[in-house]
Amino acid sequence: DQQVKQNSPSLSVQEGRISILNCDYTNSMFDYFLWYKKYPAEGPTFLISISSIKDKNEDGRFTVFLNKSAKHLSLHIVPSQPGDSAVYFCAARRGGSQGNLIFGKGTKLSVKP
Amino acid sequence: EADIYQTPRYLVIGTGKKITLECSQTMGHDKMYWYQQDPGMELHLIHYSYGVNSTEKGDLSSESTVSRIRTEHFPLTLESARPSHTSQYLCASSAREGWDSPLHFGNGTRLTVT
């Protein structure tokens, strides 16, 4: 049973507009969440993270929002650029576990010029 | 720019062969991991290590084995490859204890067993 769900396999956005990638989770013990970006033929690279004690974390064009009551987080990219086209993975970590991330299936973002 | 290196990048091999996927990192990280990913699917943890001579099985059962004799090196071995082992294998490492330590991934090995 999937504990981290990314229900949209793909998303297409025009350059300059906002991209919103969504992630839902089922385990209330998760207390740390991360987003990774993956280009073809490369490994995932860390993008941004958020602790469960926060509801928002911002880094440049990237903002992650966490809604604990809904067990939902989202990644906002503003403005979107063609170089952002990649697969984005949401991941979560249980409190007390050391490094064992649970990943979603990913959302493929295409940013069109 | 990768500080964690995986070789080979691609491997096509016949059933029954023994293979070793190499993973090395130059960051001095204590913690290392192997993930397996099929196309369009999530990454599944198959092995991890918290330091030299420490290895543990991950959430996904795997017929592979690992060793950690040196901090920088974490190879994965399949004694007898089968078509069901066809997948992408990703190695990762992380530095700090606790919750705020993101994983650094290598570029992966895409394994095809014929």
Read off the pLDDT of residues B25-39 as tens digits, 9 standing for 90 and up: 999 999 999 999 998
Instruction: Give the model's pLDDT for residue B97.
Output: 61
Pick from A101, A107, A109, A108: which is nearest to A33 by CA? A101
* Whether the predicted pLDDT of B70 surpasses 70: yes
Mean pLDDT of the A51-71 span: 96
Distance CA B99, CA A95 (A): 8
CB atoms within 10 A of CB B46: 22
If phi > 0 it is left, if psi is from -120 to 50 it is alpha, else beta; for residue B74 that is: beta
- Among candidates A34, A43, A99 on the partner chain, residue whose Cβ is nearest the Cβ of B48: A99
- A113: which 2 tokens? 């010029």
To the nearest whole Å, the CA of B104 is away from the closest chain A CA by: 7
* Whether the predicted pLDDT of A83 surpasses 60: yes
Compute the mean pLDDT over every residue in chain A, rounded to the nearest whole number. Answer: 93
* Whether the predicted pLDDT of A51 surpasses 80: yes
Cβ under 8 Å to A: B residues 64-83: none
Find all residues with CB under 8 Å of B54, minimum gap 6, and list them: B68
Instruction: Give the model's pLDDT for residue B98.
Output: 56
Mean pLDDT of the A16-27 span: 97
Given pLDDT bands bounded at 50, 70 and 90, which one contains residue B96? low
Distance CA A7, CA B97 (A): 31
Residues B39 and A107 sit within 8 Å (Cβ to Cβ): no
* Whether the predicted pLDDT of A100 surpasses 90: no
- For residue B9, the chain A residues in CB contact (below 8 A) are 41
Residues B36 and B87 sit within 8 Å (Cβ to Cβ): yes
Q: How many CA atoms lie less than 13 Å away from B31 in the CB half-sphere?
A: 16
Instruction: Give the model's pLDDT for residue A101.
Output: 87
Instruction: Give the model's pLDDT for residue A46.
Output: 93
Mean pLDDT of the B59-63 span: 83
- A16: which 2 tokens? 């300059």
For B108, nearest residue in chain A (alpha carbons)? A43
Name which residue leads in pLDDT, B86 or B95: B86
To the nearest whole Å, the CA of B46 is away from the closest chain A CA by: 10
Residues A104, B42: C-beta atoms closer than 8 Å: yes
Distance CA A40, CA B74 (A): 24
Instruction: Give the model's pLDDT for residue A99.
Output: 55
A82 alpha carbon, distance to own chain's centre: 18
Distance CA A46, CA A48 (A): 6
Distance CA B90, CA B107 (A): 7
Mean pLDDT of the B72-89 span: 96
Residues A99, B100: C-beta atoms closer than 8 Å: no
* Whether the predicted pLDDT of B107 surpasses 60: yes
Given pLDDT bands bounded at 50, 70 and 90, which one contains residue B2? low
Given pLDDT bands bounded at 50, 70 and 90, which one contains residue B102? confident
Residues A31 and A54 sit within 8 Å (Cβ to Cβ): no
- Among candidates A43, A46, A105 on the partner chain, residue whose Cβ is nearest the Cβ of B90: A43
